[in-house]
């Protein structure tokens, strides 16, 4: 599978400007058919608490854009958007669209970033999901989720072989970002792809550093600090062979952690 991450310097609360940026980034390379294209958390607007201003209505302009992108490149697209919550103003979601433009999965961030006020504006999700993509079982997460290994373990129990974390992760904690992505890959014997934004918003600087990590924790590709594309080729056989050779996941003693 070809993985193409769009490391975007998100234009603050300007959906159309970010659509143009994504199109320009992808036009700079050849996207092989059936690739997995990944856009950051809240890619149309940035990590804003002004939910009412940026959340998607129905029909959603950003979901329509993602569907068009998938059809244009004959590829899968995962992207972070803001939707209306049932009990709170918003939901921080990742949507997944197949090459025919059809919605295949929708994930709501389980761990809103409480220290930044997200938990007061965005409704927490409640379900770890997986979806099939080009032979892989893929599990999406969003930013702060990365700090909670227990939900990644639930993904493995559902068959995950590739985790994708889309983010607006700040520069001040970039070492945590890289270390945790590698840790999640090692402990779950899975590929982990982290797609972060770069640049600045009105309050925070972002480091980029989107990476692809293999099941042994080695970084296969690193997008660096600037706006651009993260590109790598991954192979499901690497996961299955390593899990067979070093079957640590079989030794999980779940009886110690409840049902």
Task: Please write the tens of the pLDDT for every residue from 177-189.
Answer: 999 999 999 999 9
Q: How far apart, in whole angstroms, are the C-alpha atoms of residue 106 and residue 125? A: 10
Task: Say what percent of the chain tops pLDDT 70.
Answer: 98
Q: Is 198 a catalytic residue?
A: no
pLDDT > 60? residue 258: no
Tell the residue number behind the tokens 């490391």, with chain if given: 7
Q: Mean per-residue pLDDT for 12-16?
A: 98
Residue 165's domain is classified under what CATH number?
3.60.110.10
DSSP secondary structure string, the chain? -EEEEEE--PPTT-HHHHHHHHHHHHHTS---TT-EEE--TTTTT-S-S-HHHH---SS-HHHHHHHHHHHHHTSEEEEEEEE--SSSSBEEEEEEE-TTS-EEEEEE-SS--GGGTGGGTBPPP-----EEETTEEEEEEEGGGGG-HHHHHHHHHTT-SEEEEEE---GGGHHHHHHHHHHHHHHHTSEEEEEE-EEE-SS-EEE---EEE-TTS-EEEE--SSSEEEEEE--HHHHHHHHHHS-GGGG--GGGG--
- Of the candidates 71, 75, 74, 65, the one whose C-alpha atom is nearest the C-alpha of residue 44 is 65
HSE-up (13 A, CA, CB side) for residue 196: 31
For residue 37, give the nearest of 238, 239, 236, 232 by alpha carbon: 232
pLDDT surpassing 60 at residue 259: no
Q: What is the pLDDT at residue 228?
A: 98
How much is the pLDDT for 6? 98
C-beta separation of 242 from 216 below 8 A: yes
**Res. 173: pLDDT tops 70:** yes
Average pLDDT rounded to a whole number, residues 55-66? 96
Please say if 41 is a catalytic residue.
Answer: yes
Distance CA(182)–CA(180), nearest Å, equals 5
Task: Give the residue, 256 or 250, on which the prediction is more confident.
Answer: 250
Read off the pLDDT of residues 20-57 as tens digits, 9 standing for 90 and up: 999 999 999 999 999 999 999 999 999 999 999 999 99
Q: Tokens standing for 158? A: 């559902």
Residue appearing with tokens 């709170």: 88
Q: Which of 133, 139, 143, 198 is catalytic?
A: 143
Average pLDDT over residues 100-115: 98
Going by pLDDT thresholds of 50, 70 and 90, the confidence category of residue 255 is confident
pLDDT value for 257 = 60
Q: In this structure, are residues 66 and 77 in contact, taking their beta carbons and an 8 Å threshold?
A: yes
pLDDT in tens, 223-249: 999 999 999 999 999 999 999 999 999
Catalytic: which of 41, 56, 118, 227?
41
- Alpha-carbon gap, residue 82 to 91, rounded angstroms: 6
Alpha carbon 101 to its chain's center: 19
CA-to-CA distance for 219 and 215, rounded, in angstroms? 10
How many structural domains is the chain composed of?
Answer: 1
pLDDT (average), residues 6-29: 98
Report yes or no on whether pTM surpasses 0.85.
yes
Catalytic residue among 109, 118, 123, 198: 109
Active site residue 109: yes
pLDDT for 253 = 86
Mean pLDDT of 140-151: 98
Confidence bin at 211 (pLDDT 50/70/90): very high
- Average pLDDT of the chain is 97
Residue 25, domain extent: 2-257
């Amino acid at each position: 599978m070809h993985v193409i991450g769009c490391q975007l310097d998100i234009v603050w609360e300007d959906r159309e400007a970010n659509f143009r940026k994504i199109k320009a980034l992808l036009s700079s390379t050849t996207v092989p058919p059936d690739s997995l294209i990944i856009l950051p958390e809240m890619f149309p607007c940035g990590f804003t608490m002004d939910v009412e201003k940026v959340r998607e209505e129905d029909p959603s302009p950003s979901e329509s854009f993602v569907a068009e992108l998938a059809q244009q490149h004959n590829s899968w697209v995962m992207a972070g958007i803001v939707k209306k919550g049932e009990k709170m103003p918003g939901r921080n979601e990742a949507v997944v669209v197949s090459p025919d433009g059809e919605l295949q999965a929708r994930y709501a961030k389980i761990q809103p970033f409480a220290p930044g006020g997200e938990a007061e504006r965005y409704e927490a999700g409640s379900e770890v999901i997986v979806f099939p993509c080009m032979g892989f079982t893929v599990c999406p997460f969003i930013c702060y989720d990365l700090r909670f290994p227990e939900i990644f373990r639930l993904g493995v129990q559902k068959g995950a072989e590739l985790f994708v974390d889309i983010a607006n992760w700040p520069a001040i904690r970039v070492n945590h970002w890289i270390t945790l992505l590698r840790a999640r890959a090692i402990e779950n014997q899975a590929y982990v792809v982290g797609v972060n934004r770069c640049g600045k918003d009105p309050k925070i600087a972002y480091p980029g550093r989107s990476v692809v990590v293999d099941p042994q924790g080695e970084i296969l590709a690193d997008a660096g600090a600037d706006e651009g594309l993260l590109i790598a080729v991954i192979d499901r056989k690497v996961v299955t062979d390593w899990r067979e050779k070093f079957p640590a996941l079989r030794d999980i003693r779940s009886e110690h952690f409840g049902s």
